[in-house]
Amino acid sequence: MSAGLWSLHPAFRPYAKQLIDLLAEAGLNPRVTSTRRSLGTQARLYQAFLDGRSPYPAAPPGHSTHQAGLAFDVVVDDMSLMPEIGRIWESIGPGFTWGGRFKDPVHFDYRGS
């Protein structure tokens, strides 16, 4: 299993693995860059976003699906494909959300149905 996916919520993990495996089979060389985060890590990322030191938005501490183990970030060799990858992710079902909808194209999560 891709590094880091083990830290995701057990019920969410198979969906994340399914997407990563699909991207790998397509030759896109997926790299998971973030999964479950501590409160401290989320606070640092949020502050970096507020300070303009991060190109990606971060939710305030206590409000991130990463903290619940229900989100992961992934990059691929051809980032222009992220909207299509997002459509695939959201086609899984209600509650599966691609972060490109809120200027975070590397983010994939589950927000409940």
Structural Rg of the chain based on CA atoms: 13
Q: Report CA-CA distances (Å) from 81 to 7, 50, 65, 70, 95.
A: 26, 27, 23, 22, 21
Four-CA torsion 48, 51, 54, 56, nearest 10 degrees: 90
Domain covering 5-38+68-110 in this structure, CATH number? 3.30.1380.10
Alpha carbon 65 to its chain's center: 9
Return per-residue pLDDT of the chain as tens, 113 residues: 455 899 999 999 999 999 999 999 999 999 999 999 999 999 999 999 999 999 999 999 999 999 999 999 999 999 999 999 999 999 999 999 999 999 999 999 999 87
Does the pTM surpass 0.85? The reply is yes
Report domain extents, the chain: 5-38+68-110
